[in-house]
């Protein structure tokens, strides 16, 4: 299993829109083949900071999602909301 952690810093005026958009896409992402779990967090002290935490069957499943029309559609909507470049890590438990 692969765990994907993504840190997103959103423009202040777009942070609530981003939150709503992300919630609306959650079930679509969870339904994508290979996605086993998805949690989304919003920092209490800095409401512009969001973290996504997802489990994927393997790196191939994550890459299939990242190359999908679903990801491209979501990314095209949310990327203009970013205040900073997204940071992402693919990790495994040990």
3-state secondary structure at position 19: helix
Q: Please indicate, yes or no, if residue 7 is contained in any of the structural domains.
A: yes
Taking 90 as the threshold, does the pLDDT of residue 2 lie above it?
yes
Q: Which residues contact 69 (CB under 8 A, 6 or more apart)?
A: none
Could you tell me the CATH number of the domain that includes residue 37?
A: 3.30.70.100
The DSSP element (H or E) to which 64 belongs, if any, is helix 59-66
Q: Please indicate, yes or no, if residue 84 is contained in any of the structural domains.
A: yes
> What's the token pair of residue 44?
């209490």
Q: What is the pLDDT of residue 46?
A: 97
Q: Please indicate, yes or no, if residue 82 is contained in any of the structural domains.
A: yes
Cβ atoms of residues 40 and 26 within 8 Å: yes
Q: Measure the CA–CA gap between 57 and 12, rounded to whole angstroms.
A: 34
Q: Please indicate, yes or no, if residue 68 is contained in any of the structural domains.
A: yes
User: How many independent structural domains does the chain possess?
Assistant: 1
3-state secondary structure at position 54: strand
Q: Please indicate, yes or no, if residue 54 is contained in any of the structural domains.
A: yes
Q: Please indicate, yes or no, if residue 94 is contained in any of the structural domains.
A: no
Q: Please indicate, yes or no, if residue 93 is contained in any of the structural domains.
A: no
Q: Please indicate, yes or no, if residue 79 is contained in any of the structural domains.
A: yes
Q: Which domain holds residue 49?
A: 2-88
Over residues 44-72, the pLDDT tens digits come to: 999 999 999 999 999 999 999 999 999 99
Q: What is the pLDDT of residue 94?
A: 87
Over residues 9-55, the pLDDT tens digits come to: 999 999 999 999 999 999 999 999 999 999 999 999 999 999 999 99
Q: Specify the pTM.
A: 0.93
Other Cβ atoms closer than 10 A to 54: 20
């Amino acid at each position: 299993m692969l765990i994907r952690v993504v840190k997103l810093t959103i423009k202040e005026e777009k942070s609530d829109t981003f939150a709503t958009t992300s919630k609306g896409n959650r079930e679509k992402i969870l339904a994508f083949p290979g996605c086993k779990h998805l949690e989304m967090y919003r920092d209490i002290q800095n409401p512009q900071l969001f973290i996504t935490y997802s489990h994927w069957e393997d790196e191939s499943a994550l890459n299939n999602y990242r190359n999908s029309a679903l990801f491209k559609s979501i990314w095209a909507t949310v990327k203009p909301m970013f205040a900073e470049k997204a940071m992402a890590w693919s990790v495994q438990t040990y």
